[in-house]
Chains A and B, each alone.
Chain A
């Protein structure tokens, strides 16, 4: 079964609302997890690195106040898309780090209407 669980798999939200995506490491504790975004027919782009017990580090061009990351436990990282807009519609995917083979979650398809 999946060792990285991501929930929800699909979400549709109204423009201006916030959406939370959960990523759980089921078999190992993960001090570091990564969040990626994939637009249609594009590749995965690293958004941020989620660090347990400390602030996330964001890639250049990713708004930290819009994409809130919380890694409050060794098995759970969450990504909250705040004040979502249609241009935030994308496929969001989390992964564990190199120590666990960069295993990916199943992804969340976000559609903002």
Chain B
């Protein structure tokens, strides 16, 4: 049984600071890792995907993956009030192919304080 663990929060961060979100997963064969942002009542939108160990940066967002520790993180720099949302960590067993659905964590509720 695949499991993805996240701290549910809420995580409160001052505007302009760095928000750090963490996730661990149980299945060592997992290959693909995703961070989604979900606003209340809406469907998730993809923020970042990462497949290899190390860091991947995209604008204000940096995803970090450590497969040995089974750990994924998301850093949000220069946090804005509009970043306030629930952030979902998701894991897939396969990279590419599309035959494997995602296993989601319960999400971390992030609040950016103006």
* A32–B98 CB distance below 8 A: yes
The winner among B41, B43, B88, B105 for most chain A CB atoms within 10 A is: B43
A-B pairs under 8 A by CB, number: 62
* B49–A101 CB distance below 8 A: yes
* A98–B107 CB distance below 8 A: no
- The 8 Å CB contact of A101, one of B41, B46, B103, B105, is B46
* B102–A46 CB distance below 8 A: yes
Taken together as a complex, chains A and B put the C-alpha atoms of A46 and B105 apart, in Å, by: 12
Main secondary structure of the interface of B (DSSP, over half): loop
* A98–B43 CB distance below 8 A: no
* B45–A104 CB distance below 8 A: yes
**Given A43-B88, A43-B107, A44-B104, do A99 and B98 touch, yes or no (CB 8 Å)?**
yes
Q: Does B99 contact A (CB under 8 A)?
A: yes
Interface of A toward B, CB cutoff 8 Å: 6, 31-32, 34, 36, 42-46, 49, 59, 93, 95-107, 109
Interface residues of B in 58-114 (CB under 8 A from A): 88, 90, 92, 94-107
Taken together as a complex, chains A and B put the C-alpha atoms of A32 and B99 apart, in Å, by: 7
Chain A residues whose CB sits within 8 angstroms of the CB of B42 once the complex forms: 106-107
Chain B contact-residue range equals 20 to 34
The winner among A59, A93, A97, A102 for most chain B CB atoms within 10 A is: A102
- The 8 Å CB contact of A98, one of B88, B100, B103, B104, is B100
The winner among B42, B90, B98, B107 for most chain A CB atoms within 10 A is: B98
* B44–A98 CB distance below 8 A: no
Taken together as a complex, chains A and B put the C-alpha atoms of A36 and B106 apart, in Å, by: 14
* B102–A102 CB distance below 8 A: yes
